[in-house]
Amino acid sequence: MQIESLRQRLRDLGARPVHEQHLLRLWTRALPLDTTTVRRPEHWLPAEVRAALPGLQAELNGLATLRSAHPGADGSVRLLVDLHDGQAVESVLLPRGGVCVSSQVGCAVGCVFCMTGKSGLLRQVGSAEIVAQVALARAQREVKRVVFMGMGEPSHNLDNVLEAIQLLGTAGGIGHKELVFSTVGDERAFERLPTLAVKPALALSLHTTDAALRAQLLPRAPRIAPEDLVEAAERYARLSGYPIQFQWTLIEGVNDTDAELEGIARLLQGKYAMMNLIPYNTVPALPYRRPDGERAAEMARWLNRRGILTRLRNSAGQDVDGGCGQLRARALDGQAT
Ligand code: SF4
């Protein structure tokens, strides 16, 4: 189900814009759609809409259902979420009121260090299924921030992701800056984001400043030179008023070199941006390793000394298959239920 088709169904039942907005508000906040929550006279629903509510509620609840929850020591909870057709995606409840949602089942970018990339793209996640992941999270804890950093490349499912963002930033009550669109960098996203009423913050997965290495690590990402990515991101940062969050999955012996530090300094000095260094979460099935903790800390210190605001972060719930796609991969093997 798409959000627009849900809106159309409500209109066909006689819902006026105020009713539509009210019901969408309840859904996005994980509140029951039943009429007992409707107090203001202008929200009194037409009889046909009221009659359809139980069926609609069941349908919306079925868009994303919890298969299993895996709490991590850091306060995050990784969720394995079933979609209505039996496909599964991962969401993560993050510490301090965030949720990370998936925009695709699988992913076509094929990053060599990512389990999700291994499967290729299986299907798009519908706009209503994206919002349903947020509603599912809100049924469990307060959510004030939504990051599109789960399974999938949001730019490859752009219409659905942007439709979800528009709803979450309006009826969903999430601050626009607290909606974080994450991408490997795609012209279509750079063109569309500036035109939106709800402009999300932008996270850009850079991973290396070496174009040839980037083509190896992210084999099917658009071939945009790192310096051009940074320039496109900088234009959006200035327009939106939010700094770009550059993401750098730190892999031992691959992109933890002094040459990369010099490259980051060259590209990001003076930019409205911050750098998140995220030590790789080692996956037994893949040949990449997490760098030594001291090396990661030293890199963050070096960049901060050069005036590039840098944070050393861990992927949430790394003690419970914290790398994107690991939980789903284990479920397919029958080990996570
Ligand atoms: Fe896709 Fe992100 Fe995994 Fe790359 S890291 S394959 S973009 S899900």
Residue 295 forms part of a structural domain? yes
**240: domain range?**
64-320
Given this model, what pLDDT does residue 35 score? 60
CATH of the domain at 237: 3.20.20.70
- CA 215 – CA 222 distance, rounded (Å): 9
| Residue 323 scores a pLDDT above 80 | no
Identify the CA nearest to 248 among candidates 151, 181, 313.
Answer: 313
Given this model, what pLDDT does residue 331 score? 60
- In which residue are the tokens 């006279």 written? 41
Residue 306 forms part of a structural domain? yes
- CA 162 – CA 189 distance, rounded (Å): 10
Given this model, what pLDDT does residue 38 score? 55
| Residue 301 scores a pLDDT above 60 | yes
- CA 337 – CA 322 distance, rounded (Å): 16
> Known catalytic residues?
90, 324
Chain segment 2-45, per-residue pLDDT in tens: 999 999 999 999 999 999 999 999 999 999 997 655 566 666 88
Residue 28 forms part of a structural domain? no
Residue 14 forms part of a structural domain? no
- CA 198 – CA 200 distance, rounded (Å): 6
Token pair in block for residue 81:
């979420």
Given this model, what pLDDT does residue 317 score? 57
Q: What is the dihedral of CA 16, 18, 21, 23, to 10 degrees?
A: -80
Chain segment 283-296, per-residue pLDDT in tens: 888 999 999 999 99
Chain segment 248-273, per-residue pLDDT in tens: 999 999 999 999 999 999 999 999 99
Q: Which of 91, 111, 181, 249 to mutate to test the pocket of ligand 1 (most atoms within 8 A of CB)?
A: 111
Name all residues whose Cβ lies below 6 A of ligand 1.
107, 109-111, 114, 116-117, 151-153, 184, 324
* Residue 80 φ/ψ, nearest 5 degrees: -100, 120
What share of the chain in percent tops pLDDT 70? 91
Given this model, what pLDDT does residue 335 score? 43
The domain tally of the chain equals 1
Given this model, what pLDDT does residue 37 score? 56
- C-alpha 269: how far from its chain's center? 27
Chain segment 110-131, per-residue pLDDT in tens: 999 998 888 899 999 999 999 9
What is the overall mean pLDDT for the chain? 92
| Residue 183 scores a pLDDT above 90 | yes
Q: How many residues does the chain have?
A: 337
| Span from the CA of 111 to the centroid of ligand 1 (angstroms) | 5
Chain segment 184-237, per-residue pLDDT in tens: 999 999 999 999 999 999 999 999 999 999 999 999 999 999 999 999 999 999
| Span from the CA of 325 to the centroid of ligand 1 (angstroms) | 9
| Span from the CA of 64 to the centroid of ligand 1 (angstroms) | 21
Given this model, what pLDDT does residue 337 score? 38
* Residue 99, strand partner residues: 93, 146
Residue 12 forms part of a structural domain? no
Residue 335 forms part of a structural domain? no
Given this model, what pLDDT does residue 336 score? 41
Given this model, what pLDDT does residue 74 score? 86
Residue 175 forms part of a structural domain? yes
- The atom number, within ligand 1, closest to the CA of 114 reads 3
Residue 82 forms part of a structural domain? yes
